């Protein structure tokens, strides 16, 4: 019997609210080795014409998949892709609130494609955010 | 200087082996708010059939960044860090990365095209382990802003 059985297209498998703070960005910079200053310095962000300090796209991508990881298990993630459609501006005091919803998009042979919707203040931050998970074995 | 279209098809040398440390996996997991026990608890990971804790699905970016540095350091490529915007990203895995892995990345520029004054560079980093087996391929599109932008 399949470990993740009985899935139906359209079914929401996981949902989560996340808050990113400036501390989250500094922590991610150190962990990942991406020290681009637009992710921690307001003056640099302003100088290159950004609306504020931005979250690393890879941080948003990394966090957005976590509801699926917790649901399926981290060793069942076969493929994960996103398009960075809108930058996540992180306010120094209030941070940035993200909502992630993970829904079954398509069922395959021993796999399922889970589609992520990542929103902040009603706007979609990632496009074509899709995770392929192994459902058998 | 625009991106040199002749870098399409160029392959850079494999990066020196990167040893995936257990604490690095835990640190990266905390940074992406990954709380699953397989990222943190060695006993849980071993019980699930892994040699050690396993890395989150986006961890290969650490190796991919090492290969991006080769591209940025190549004066012939014409790619400047400050002008890059990350367009899209994909990871296609054969298996999860496990603490103790020695990983090597090799970058190939798969496509360069002009797009309304900007250049779009698509590149692919193939990550392999110490025995040469495929672990994951990381594919990215980088939008490089033109001079006037």
Q: Record the tokens describing residue B14, joined without a space.
A: 């494999």
d(CA A80, CA A126): 12
Model pLDDT for residues A3-56, shown as the tens digit of each residue:
588 899 999 999 999 999 999 999 999 999 999 899 999 999 999 888 999 999
pLDDT at B43 over 80: yes
Chain B residue whose CA is closest to A18: B33
From B94, B93, B15, B95, select the one nearest B54 (Cα to Cα). B95
Burial of residue A70 (number of CB atoms within 10 Å: 0-12, 13-18, 19+): middle
pLDDT tier at B148, thresholds 50, 70, 90: low
CB-CB under 8 Å, A79 with B92? yes
Put simply, whether A83 touches B (Cβ < 8 Å) is: yes
CB-CB under 8 Å, A48 with B31? no
Average pLDDT (B119-139) is: 97
pLDDT tier at B149, thresholds 50, 70, 90: very low
Average pLDDT (B15-31) is: 98
pLDDT tier at B81, thresholds 50, 70, 90: confident
Chain A residue whose CA is closest to B33: A63
B134-144 vs B84-93, strand pairing mode: antiparallel
From B109, B113, B143, select the one nearest B126 (Cα to Cα). B109
Return the CATH architecture of domain A12-21+56-134.
Answer: Roll (3.10)
Put simply, whether A73 touches B (Cβ < 8 Å) is: yes
d(CA A72, CA B38): 12
Q: Which of A61, A95, A134 to mutate to test the interface with B (most CBs of B within 10 A)?
A: A61
What does the CA dihedral B73, B74, B78, B84 come to, rounded to 10 degrees? -40
Average pLDDT (B50-79) is: 95
- For residues A114 and A13, the answer to whether their CB atoms sit within 8 Å is yes
d(CA B81, CA A35): 11
Model pLDDT for residues A71-95, shown as the tens digit of each residue:
999 999 999 999 999 999 999 999 9
From A6, A3, A10, select the one nearest A106 (Cα to Cα). A10
Q: Record the tokens describing residue B86, joined without a space.
A: 């990350």
Model pLDDT for residues B84-127, shown as the tens digit of each residue:
889 999 999 999 999 999 999 999 999 999 988 899 999 999 99
pLDDT at B34 over 90: yes
pLDDT at B35 over 60: yes
User: What's the gap in Å between the CA of B4 and the closest CA on chain A?
Assistant: 23
Hey, where are the domains in chain A? 12-21+56-134
Put simply, whether A92 touches B (Cβ < 8 Å) is: no
With beta carbons under 8 A apart, name residues in chain B contacting A59: 31-32
Which domains, and CATH codes, for chain B? Answer: 5-20+57-144 (3.10.129.10)
Out of A18, A28, A48, whose CB is closest to B31? A28
Model pLDDT for residues A52-61, shown as the tens digit of each residue:
999 999 999 9
More confident position, B85 or A111: A111
Chain A residue whose CA is closest to B84: A36
pLDDT at A1 over 50: no
Q: Record the tokens describing residue A127, joined without a space.
A: 């496009």
Instruction: Outline where DSSP puts E strands in chain B.
Output: 18-19, 84-93, 102-115, 118-128, 134-144
Angle of helix A22-32 versus helix A57-64 axis, rounded to 10: 90
What does the CA dihedral B39, B45, B51, B57 come to, rounded to 10 degrees? -40
Share of chain A above pLDDT 90, in %: 89
From A24, A26, A75, A3, select the one nearest B95 (Cα to Cα). A75
Chain B residue whose CA is closest to A48: B82
Q: Rg of chain B's alpha carbons, rounded to an integer?
A: 17
Out of B32, B54, B62, whose CB is closest to A59? B32
Out of A32, A73, A79, whose CB is closest to B61? A32
- CA-based angle A65:B111:A37, to the nearest 5? 55
How large is the ipTM?
0.95
pLDDT at A32 (0 to 100): 96
Out of B27, B54, B61, whose CB is closest to A58? B61
Out of B27, B35, B89, whose CB is closest to A61? B89
Chain B residue whose CA is closest to A67: B34
CB-CB under 8 Å, B91 with A80? yes
């Amino acid at each position: 019997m399949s470990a993740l059985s009985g899935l139906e297209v359209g079914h929401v498998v996981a949902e989560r609210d996340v808050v990113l703070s400036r501390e989250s960005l500094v922590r991610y910079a150190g962990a990942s080795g991406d020290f681009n200053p637009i992710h921690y310095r307001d003056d640099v962000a302003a100088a290159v014409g950004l609306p504020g300090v931005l979250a690393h796209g890879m941080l948003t991508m990394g966090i957005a998949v976590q509801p699926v990881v917790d649901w399926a298990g981290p060793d069942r993630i076969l493929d994960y892709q996103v398009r960075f459609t809108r930058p996540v501006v992180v306010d120094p005091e209030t941070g940035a609130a993200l909502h992630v919803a993970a829904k079954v998009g398509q069922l395959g042979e021993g796999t399922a494609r889970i589609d992520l919707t990542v929103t902040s203040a009603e706007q979609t931050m990632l496009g074509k955010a899709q995770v392929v998970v192994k459902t058998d074995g | 200087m625009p991106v040199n279209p002749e870098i399409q098809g160029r392959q850079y040398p494999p990066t020196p082996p990167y040893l995936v440390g257990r604490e690095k996996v835990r640190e990266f997991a905390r940074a992406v708010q990954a709380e699953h026990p397989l990222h943190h608890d060695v006993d849980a990971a071993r019980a699930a059939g892994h040699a050690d804790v396993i890395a989150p699905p986006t961890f290969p970016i650490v190796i991919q960044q090492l290969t991006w540095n080769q591209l940025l350091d190549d004066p012939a490529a014409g790619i400047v860090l400050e002008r890059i915007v990350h367009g899209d990203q994909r990871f296609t895995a054969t298996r999860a990365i496990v603490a103790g892995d020695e990983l090597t990345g090799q970058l190939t520029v798969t496509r360069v095209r002009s797009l309304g004054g900007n250049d779009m560079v698509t590149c692919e980093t193939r990550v392999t382990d110490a025995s040469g087996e495929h672990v994951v391929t990381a594919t990215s599109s980088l939008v490089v802003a033109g001079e006037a932008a």
